[in-house]
Amino acid sequence: MIYLGDSRFGGTSFYRHRRTGYEEITAENRSNYQLALDADMRLHGPPPKAYANGDAVLFESIFCNELRFNSAVVYSGRMLHAANMPATFVPPRSERDWRLTVTSLLRGD
């Protein structure tokens, strides 16, 4: 992913699912992850409607790549990740001022 916006939009954070310890979801662990996530939802309820930003009940943050204009981060799309939007983030009024990234999906079998 290439970041083309400014730092107010945060970067990308990577997470570990607390119950399973998974950092990425693969064909081999997908069923177990879904079972564990369903159990988490029954126990804790759904998370608040907000961007994931740091540690939470179900996930722990393991790394945050800060956004710097014209920088890039390369990672497996199977990794648990989310935009790292600050809790105080107020979306711009103009679509021209939104977070802009260039994302490519590469397959490496």
Q: pLDDT for 38-97, tens place per residue?
A: 999 999 999 888 777 889 999 999 999 988 888 888 898 899 999 888 778 777 788 777
Contact criterion met (CB below 8 Å) for 59 and 17: yes
Q: Across the strands, what pairs with 104?
A: none
Say if residue 109's pLDDT is above 70. no
Contact criterion met (CB below 8 Å) for 68 and 3: yes
Reported pTM: 0.84
3-class secondary-structure state, position 64? strand
Domain boundaries, the chain: 2-102
> Which residues are within 8 A (CB) of 42 and not within 5 positions of it... i.e. 6 or more apart?
none
